[in-house]
């Protein structure tokens, strides 16, 4: 596995930003950034990623391994996605709630398959002060067993259905291997929806409706292409009926990423927690349930896919600051007039609804500021100097492709909006081109092995047998991790009659994506 673990970047590689001047001494204007990344994305992905998330001020390492401080630059992105998703699920009449963080052992262990899937990751509270607790208390790894005893209490008749709840919260999963900021951490933020229906048809429809919202988060907001599909029996949610997911791919590491999941739990949990209702005929019936979630993992995928050797590259739709305005005063220029022009530009764009700020710090050179905001991934840089003022224009520099263009001040709002749209689309197009170039069709084991060694996203015909998937894992196990099925895409290519499974030689039933994953 590409090691993106808890390696803290060299703090000395970053020069701390100092604000303001001081005293009566002549102010020293810093020209060297001292902020450049020391690692290259193509050469040392793990260390590059660790540097980007820290130097880009997304996270700070914490003194407990696998836990990270999410800084404002990260939280602004999370809040943008949250605002979109929350509004959409409210249109679906899903209501927000909050359940406690703690779970009793008796409840947690009620659903055997479910707890077996999570048991190694469950963190336990065993002491209060210096006293041992008589009964240890678990910290939720997910909330099915926390919530469903109360669904049993609240659901009595068909008029109580559907019951559709969501909560925005944190969960704890005590990962032991390769903690990676955003991708695998011991505590993370997410939303988790838990819904109950009278019929399987209603549950099935919601699974796909929610999955479509997850696709939109990735493709429309984060500019990351994903595949919608169904997980294998081995990879589905523990205790569930079936799992659907959106799967992303990181070409640099050749690894898939489970982007978000939407599960149909069937009636299994309803049986375990006795969640029944009286239907319209007066008969006792069992409910159908779903659960679905996406987490701060989304942000890590965005960094991995779009980031470059200069730092973060943020899509305009989620960037905390969409454009940064930087004054470029030459010697003997009217600095105040340039500052005023910068502030006027900020005001005009802000009134048009864009997230824009000016960097007027006078103890840093324009070049230093360029590097600083490139590292933080701001989509657009707007430069204003004396010549720009004379010509009544501003210079715009795109973060995604470094393209420079001078635009008349009179057309500022229209041109900037157009530029944001183009940046957003270009980020998606480039990511899709790289993802698509990584897809390799493999019809035999030899072809599969070669593609895996070349870090490909492999599309292969499969017999859909659990034992065969286990065999694939066993045969590919190594230092960098085993290959597994990622998903069987809903959009299935034609499967000619007589096609055989790449791994077993038995008749193939479907096309499935395979690869190593995070």
- The helix or strand, by DSSP H or E, that contains position 146, with its residue range, turns out to be helix 144-154
Q: Residue 333 pLDDT more than 90?
A: no
Q: How far apart are the first and last CA of the chain?
A: 8
Cβ(178)–Cβ(206) under 8 Å?
no
Q: How confident is the model at residue 230 (pLDDT cuts 50, 70, 90)?
A: very high
What is the per-residue pLDDT for 14? 39
Residue 263 has pLDDT above 70, yes or no: yes
Tell me the two tokens of residue 166: 């969501």
Check residue 404 and give its pLDDT: 98
Paired sense of beta strands 276-278 and 255-266, if any: unpaired
CATH topology (fold) of 439-516: Translation Initiation Factor IF3 (3.30.110)
The span from the CA of 332 to the CA of 259, in Å, is 53
The CATH number of domain 323-427 is 3.40.190.10: no
Q: What is the pTM of this model?
A: 0.93
The pair phi, psi for residue 326, each rounded to 5°, is -125, 125
* pLDDT value at residue 159: 97
CA-CA distance, 13 to 329, in Å (whole number)? 28
Check whether 33 has a pLDDT greater than 60.
no
Q: What percent of the chain has pLDDT over 90?
A: 87
pLDDT band of residue 17 (cuts 50, 70, 90) is very low
Residues 287-313 as b or e (16 or more Cβ within 10 Å = b): bbbbbbbbbbbbbbbbbbbbbbebbbb
Element holding 484 (H helix, E strand)? strand 484-489
Domain coordinates of the chain in residue numbers? 45-99+146-306, 323-427, 439-516
In the predicted structure, residue 471 carries a pLDDT above the cut 90:
yes
Predicted pLDDT at 11: 45
DSSP states of 98-117 = ---SEE-HHHHTSSHHHHHH
45-99+146-306: CATH class: alpha beta
Per-residue confidence (pLDDT) for residue 7, from 0 to 100 = 62
Read off the pLDDT of each residue in 245-252 and give the average, rounded to a whole number: 98
């Amino acid at each position: 596995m590409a090691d993106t673990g808890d390696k803290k970047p060299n703090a000395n590689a970053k020069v701390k930003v100092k604000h303001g001047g001081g005293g009566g001494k002549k102010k020293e204007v810093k020209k060297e950034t001292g902020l450049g990344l020391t690692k290259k994305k193509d050469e040392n992905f793990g260390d590059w990623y660790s540097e980007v998330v820290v130097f880009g001020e997304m996270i700070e390492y914490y003194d407990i391994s696998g836990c990270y401080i999410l800084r404002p630059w990260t939280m602004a992105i999370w809040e943008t996605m949250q605002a979109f998703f929350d509004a959409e699920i409210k249109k679906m009449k899903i209501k927000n709630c909050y359940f406690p963080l703690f779970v009793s052992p008796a409840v947690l262990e009620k659903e055997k398959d479910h707890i077996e899937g999570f048991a190694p990751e469950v963190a336990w509270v065993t002491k209060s002060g210096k006293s041992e607790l008589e009964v240890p208390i678990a910290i939720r790894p997910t909330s099915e067993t926390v919530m469903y005893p109360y669904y049993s209490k609240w659901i009595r008749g068909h008029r109580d259905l559907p019951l559709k709840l969501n909560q925005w919260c944190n969960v704890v999963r005590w990962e032991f291997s390769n903690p990676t900021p955003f991708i695998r951490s011991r505590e993370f933020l997410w939303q988790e929806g838990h819904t109950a229906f009278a019929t399987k048809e209603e549950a099935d429809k919601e699974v796909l409706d929610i999955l479509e919202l997850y696709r939109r988060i990735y493709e429309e907001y984060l500019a990351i292409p994903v595949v919608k599909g169904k997980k294998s029996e081995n990879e589905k949610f523990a205790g569930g009926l079936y799992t659907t997911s959106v799967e992303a791919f990181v070409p640099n590491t050749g690894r898939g990423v489970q982007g978000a999941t939407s599960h149909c739990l069937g009636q299994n949990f309803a049986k375990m927690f006795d969640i029944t209702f009286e239907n319209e005929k007066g008969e006792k019936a069992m409910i159908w349930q779903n659960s679905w979630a996406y987490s701060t993992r989304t942000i890590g995928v965005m960094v991995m896919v779009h980031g470059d050797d200069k730092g973060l590259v943020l899509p305009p739709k989620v960037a905390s600051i969409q454009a940064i305005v930087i004054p470029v005063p030459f010697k003997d220029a009217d600095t105040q007039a340039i500052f005023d022009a910068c502030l006027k530009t900020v005001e005009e764009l802000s009134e048009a609804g864009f997230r824009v700020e000016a960097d007027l710090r006078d103890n840093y050179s324009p070049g230093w500021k360029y590097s600083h905001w490139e590292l933080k991934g701001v989509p657009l840089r707007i430069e204003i100097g004396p010549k720009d003022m004379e010509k009544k224009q501003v210079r715009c520099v795109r973060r995604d492709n470094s393209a420079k263009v001078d635009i008349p001040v009179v057309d500022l709002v229209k041109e900037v909006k157009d530029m944001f749209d183009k940046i957003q689309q270009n980020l998606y197009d480039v990511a899709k081109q790289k993802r698509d170039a990584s897809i390799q069709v493999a019809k035999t084991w030899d072809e599969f092995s070669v593609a895996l060694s070349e870090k490909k996203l492999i599309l292969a015909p499969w017999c859909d047998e659990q034992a065969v998937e286990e065999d694939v894992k066993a045969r590919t196990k190594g230092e960098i991790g085993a290959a597994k099925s990622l998903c069987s895409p809903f959009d299935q290519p034609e499967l000619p009659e007589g096609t055989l499974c790449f791994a077993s030689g038995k008749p193939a039933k479907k096309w499935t994506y395979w690869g190593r994953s995070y």
